[in-house]
Structure 1
Amino acid sequence: MSWSQNLRNPQEFLKVGDEVEAQVLTLDRAERKMSLGIKQLTPDPWKNIGERYPIGSQHKAVVKNMTNFGVFVEIEEGIDGLIHISDLSWSKKVNHPNEFTKVGEELDVIVLELDEANRKLSLGHKQLEENPWETFETVFTLDSIHEGTVLKVTDKGAIIALPYGVEGFAPTKHMAKEDGTSIKADETAEFRIIEFNKDSKRIVVSHARIWEEAKAEERKEEFNAKKKEAKATTTAVKKVKESVEKSTLGDLGVLAQLKEKMEGAESKAKKTKKTDAAESSEAANSTEE
């Protein structure tokens, strides 16, 4: 009935009472059966398609149908193609094509692959723009902080809208505020980049990491201050101890000198006493004589 691959029901193409022109395809006289075709009355659009739709060429297409894995579009009558869900946007994570487009909408597309034998055309939409993740890599560097708004909260975490139309993911534990509560949907806060993967287009952010690291830094500074104070105290005590030891040694020196003097004086006194005794004895002997 049609060269288009999107025809799902004849009622989409014809209705009872319509008069159509058709071409006889097969004829079985014994069974009294005849097969007719309508599309055969028009040229096959896939003939020489490589010349009209070479890889890399850009075209406009109309959305005809959507599935979980992509969007089926029609470039012209009978020429259908598929835009895979991963080829819709560079920056947004599209869970279902209906989040990005709708049936009947016109999209700009680029030919990515062409399988003429199997009549398959792979198209892309995001490829029409330069890959912004090359630039995002220099903006959303690890540990950099950016303002973000919570778009959606799930059991595992939350989707965060970051600058330049980029979305990041914050695990539940990283949504905690300093007061113990969690950031809610539509709230705006600061988030730290804790993971960036250009290839998988994944950005993981954390709000909790900001204040946790701030507290850790405070504890570190407090510890260093106490450590410095303790070191100063130890140094002061050591100086006092050295001073006391020097004083003690000095006192011992003075005492030693005093002892030497006293011992010298005592020895001199003994010598004097002996001398006097000897002289007294000689004087007495002289008198007796």
Structure 2
Amino acid sequence: MLVDPVRRIFSIKKALPNPWEEIKDLNKGDVVKVSVSHITDYGAFVDLGNGAEGFLHISEINWDGMNDLTLGQEIDVEIVEINTDEEKLRVSRKNLLDKPAEEFSKKYKKGDILKGVVTKFINVGAFVEIDGISVLLPNKFVSFKKGEKASDVLNIGDEIEVKVITIEPENNKVIVSRKDVLSNPYEEFAKNYQIGDNVKGKVKHITDFGSFVDLGDVEALVRKEDMKNEYNVGDEFQGKIIELNGDKIKLAE
């Protein structure tokens, strides 16, 4: 009769020192040098050099929210959360970097007119890069046309001229305006037209209270009570100017 030999199971991991014991003296706010061990869509994992890993979320890599790391790269990070019992470590590289708005404020001031390149579109506007610093161009400062978005008139890679209208280093906020460097088309329109003149345009937007008509460089409102016919977006509209006040133009059939 054969007898199975006694099986003995060994754990190399158990025989090795616990790397989390080695870092138990680290605290929130401490700065440590690490190497990038894994890169994911949502951030990166970093190795403290002893096998213990921490998580670096993509929002904590830099102020642009873009992953510019490479595998094996050595970086300094700040500990933002640590729990050695649960083997949990979160770190931030962004906290150790200068805020872009602070760097921007050292070179430029409110009112400066600068050139930049459109790099990205978002719901509220676009990001424009000026001397390597990303600043915000809100939709409302893109043009004089109401409701027009940055993505409607600009393309990625476009070089545009903008005016600095807000610099808040403490909040890392820089806002620029394209509209403020353009000639005001409503002023030009007022030089060529007056109340009572007939104009033609195309219906651009339809709302509960009326329609907006595209007259080229400007838009005009036609209230429902001033319309005799029904229109669809894209239809041609011909009407008379009944109000001309700055950027407010109203028409009636």
TM exceeds 0.5?
A: yes
Out of 226, 242, 251, the residue aligned to residue 174 of structure 1 is 226
Task: Please list the CA deviations of residues 51-70 of structure 1 after superposition, one character each: whole Å capped at 9, or x if unmatched.
Answer: 42233131213242422x43
Out of 146, 150, 154, the residue aligned to residue 93 of structure 1 is 146
Counterpart in the other structure of 2:193: 140
Q: Which has the higher strand share?
A: 2
1:71 partner amino acid: A
**Cα gap change, 1:154/1:21 in structure 2, threshold over 3 Å: closer, same or farther?**
same
**Cα gap change, 1:139/1:153 in structure 2, threshold over 3 Å: closer, same or farther?**
same
Q: Distance in 1 between matches of 2:107 and 2:198?
A: 48
CA RMSD of superposed structures (Å): 3.6
**Cα gap change, 1:63/1:186 in structure 2, threshold over 3 Å: closer, same or farther?**
same
Q: Distance in 1 between matches of 2:81 and 2:143?
A: 52
Task: After TM superposition, give the deviation of residue 23 of structure 1 in Å.
Answer: 1.4
Task: Please list the CA deviations of residues 259-278 of structure 1 after superposition, one character each: whole Å capped at 9, or x if unmatched.
Answer: xxxxxxxxxxxxxxxxxxxx
Counterpart in the other structure of 1:190: 238
2:199 partner amino acid: H
Q: Which has the higher helix share?
A: 1
Larger of the two Rg values belongs to structure: 1
Return the TM-score normalized by structure 1: 0.53
2:248 partner amino acid: R
Q: Is the 8 A contact 1:66 1:103 kept in 2?
A: no
Number of residue pairs matched by the alignment: 190
**Cα gap change, 1:66/1:34 in structure 2, threshold over 3 Å: closer, same or farther?**
closer
Return the TM-score normalized by structure 2: 0.59
Q: Distance in 1 between matches of 2:90 and 2:202?
A: 64
Report the 3-state secondary structure (helix = DSSP H, G, I; strand = E; otherwise coil) of the residue aligned with 1:194.
strand
Unaligned runs of 5+ in 1: 208-289
Unaligned runs of 5+ in 2: 1-59
**Cα gap change, 1:106/1:21 in structure 2, threshold over 3 Å: closer, same or farther?**
farther
Matched, 1:203 2:249: yes
Q: Is the 8 A contact 1:62 1:75 kept in 2?
A: no
